[in-house]
Amino acid sequence: MYAQPIPLSRFAPTRSHEIEKLVHETHGFISSLSEKGGPDPSDYVMLNALLQCFSGDNSKSMLSDNQFQQIRGAFGGALSPETIQGWAYHKPLGYAGDFKIIEKIYSYHISSNPHLAKWDHYSHYQTATKAIRNRISFFLDQVWKAKNQSPNNCQILNLASGPGRDMHETFSTLGAQGVQIDCVEQDHQAIKFAMNLCKNFLSHIQFFHKNVLRFTTTKTYNLIWSGGLFDYFNDSIFKRMIKRLLPSLKKNGKLIIGNFSTDNPSRGYMDLFNWNLIHRTREELRQLAKSCGVLDQNISIEQEPEGINLFLVINN
Ligand SMILES: C[S@@+](CC[C@H](N)C(=O)[O-])C[C@H]1O[C@@H](n2cnc3c(N)ncnc32)[C@H](O)[C@@H]1O
């Protein structure tokens, strides 16, 4: 059975009966995809467009919990933790964005179950997953720059280090000589995984099993990096962390904080599985730094090639 396309004119519902109709049609479209074993690439645009119209702040007021549940129900077995989207929804480790799902995204994991594989291909097609993968080369580039500035003693603090894939790729490519990375991570399973992955570089990495909110240090760093953490922090915690971290920067050091952009075209897909991030604009990120007393000239906003994972860069 082939999924029937839905006219794009239906994608801006405002009245409750229009919303109900769109939920019904979305349910039907996803059910038809599930029946044929998952979406083909030709279905991606339609599916994304449907999910995106329930995204972000709109969806919170637009859809009831029942309507969300109705749409999720259409995925059937494709919402099991065997798929990336199912893992995102069920959160087997108890929190969103755990190291296992991030590692599945980095390693382009596809379910070995042929009935589910197409759904994983769809997850990897998402702009958000591409943006996550792009974090690795962004990190590598930053380490390279920091190492150029301080070739013999480059000190890096990595907050919420997760699976450690970024460190592994960076050290495998650049070498680890002269670089020391201190990692703060709350999940001991993530630390165990990262220690194994980075086993050839452990003399250059130290792990602190701690909540970053409670981490203090007297050391100073050339680079303080955090990807995939601050978009879970509200503004007040975000600012508290900036204020706490600034004194730990060496002269000419950089504090780099990743945060997903409000332009995230995968937001509807992520919201459906309650992978809720605090999306921010470039200006909001800049203002957060300014409100911590950072001068405008010391702030820049960078991005990975998809333009979805933004990076607040504060130069000391
Ligand atoms: C989305 S992953 C990002 C991992 C890594 N930075 C990357 O970009 O590949 C988030 C990680 O942050 C960790 N984490 C979340 N909140 C934390 C906190 N308050 N303190 C320390 N680690 C935290 C989680 O355990 C998880 O491993």
Residue 160 CA to ligand 1 center (angstroms) comes to 4
Structural domain count of the chain: 2
What range does the domain containing 88 cover? 13-128
In a domain? residue 197: yes
Q: Across the strands, what pairs with 315?
A: 254
Asked whether the beta carbons of 171 and 198 are under 8 A apart, the reply is yes
Q: By percentage, how much of the chain surpasses pLDDT 70?
A: 93
Q: What is the pLDDT of residue 65?
A: 85
How far is it, in rounded angstroms, from Cα 176 to Cα 310? 26
Q: Are residues 42 and 164 in the same domain?
A: no
> In what side-by-side order are the strands of the sheet with 154-159?
205-209, 179-185, 154-159, 221-226, 249-260, 309-315, 299-303
Q: Are residues 113 and 137 in the same domain?
A: no
Q: Is 167 in the pocket of ligand 1 (CB under 6 A)?
A: no
pLDDT at 16: 79
Residue 3 lies in a domain: no
Residue 299 and residue 290 in contact, taking contact as beta carbons nearer than 8 Å:
yes
CB contact at 8 A, 202 and 167: no
Q: Enumerate residues 6+ apart whose C-beta is below 8 A from 252.
A: 149, 222, 315, 316
The answer on 287 and 148 residing in a single domain is yes
The per-residue pLDDT for range 252-272, each reduced to its tens digit, is 999 999 999 999 999 999 999
Q: What is the mean pLDDT of residues 120-131?
A: 98
Average pLDDT of the segment spanning 101-119: 97
Residues 194 and 153 in one domain: yes
Q: Residue 7: what are its φ and ψ, rounded to 5°?
A: -55, 135
Domain membership of residue 5 (yes or no) is no
Q: Residues 209, 304: one domain?
A: yes
161 in contact with ligand 1, CB cutoff 6 A: yes
Q: Residue 286's domain is classified under what CATH number?
A: 3.40.50.150
Q: Does residue 272 lie within any of the structural domains?
A: no
Pair (142, 254) in one structural domain: yes
Query: Do 63 and 170 share a structural domain?
Result: no
State which of 103, 229, 304 you would mutate to test the pocket of ligand 1, scoring each by most atoms of that ligand within 8 A of its C-beta: 229
Looking at the whole model, is its pTM more than 0.75?
yes
Calculate what percentage of the chain has a pLDDT beyond 90. 85
Q: What average pLDDT is seen over the chain?
A: 93
* Residue 164 lies inside a defined structural domain of this protein: yes
Measure the CA–CA gap between 126 and 39, rounded to whole angstroms.
13
User: Which residue's CA is the closest to the ligand 1 atom numbered 8?
Assistant: 227
Let me know the angle formed at the C-alpha of 93 by 87 and 31, rounded to the nearest 5 degrees.
20
pLDDT surpassing 60 at residue 107: yes
Q: pLDDT value at position 309?
A: 98
With a cut of 70, say whether residue 57 has pLDDT above it.
Answer: no
Q: Residues 106, 144: one domain?
A: no
185 with 95: CB under 8 angstroms?
no
Question: Which tens digit of pLDDT belongs to each residue from 169-182?
Answer: 999 999 999 999 99
Do residue 123 and residue 137 come from a single domain?
A: no
Residues 48 and 123 in one domain: yes
Residues 249 and 238 in one domain: yes
